[in-house]
Amino acid sequence: MITIVILLVLGLSGWTISTLMSKGKHQEEIKEELGNIFESLKYLSSSISALVKLLMKDSISSAKEDDFKSIKANVIDLLSIDKKDKEDQVA
């Protein structure tokens, strides 16, 4: 499926470039449509980045302290074991 889409885009791009180079009758209209496509892509990329930011904010704000208690306990245990090992090596 992705291959078909890529081939379609490449074919359409080649056709557009060849039409623009051949000085066809509808060059201005083609340029206008290309401008519309690029404008739409710009809006799409800004919308996607805004969506990602909102999802990140929501994920961070909805994370509760309970979610991290087990992680904190594991880190504290690892640090205390590491500290004991260093004390044993010094003694």
d(CA 72, CA 65): 10
For 3-29, the pLDDT digits (tens) are: 999 999 999 999 999 888 888 788 899
Sign of CA dihedral 51, 54, 60, 64: negative
Locate tokens 């805004």: which residue? 50
Say what the pTM is: 0.55
For 39-49, the pLDDT digits (tens) are: 999 999 999 99
d(CA 27, CA 31): 6
> Longest C-alpha distance within the chain, in Å?
90
Query: How many other C-beta atoms lie within 10 A of the C-beta of residue 27?
Result: 13
If you count DSSP H runs as helices and E runs as strands, how many of each does the chain have, helices first?
A: 3, 0
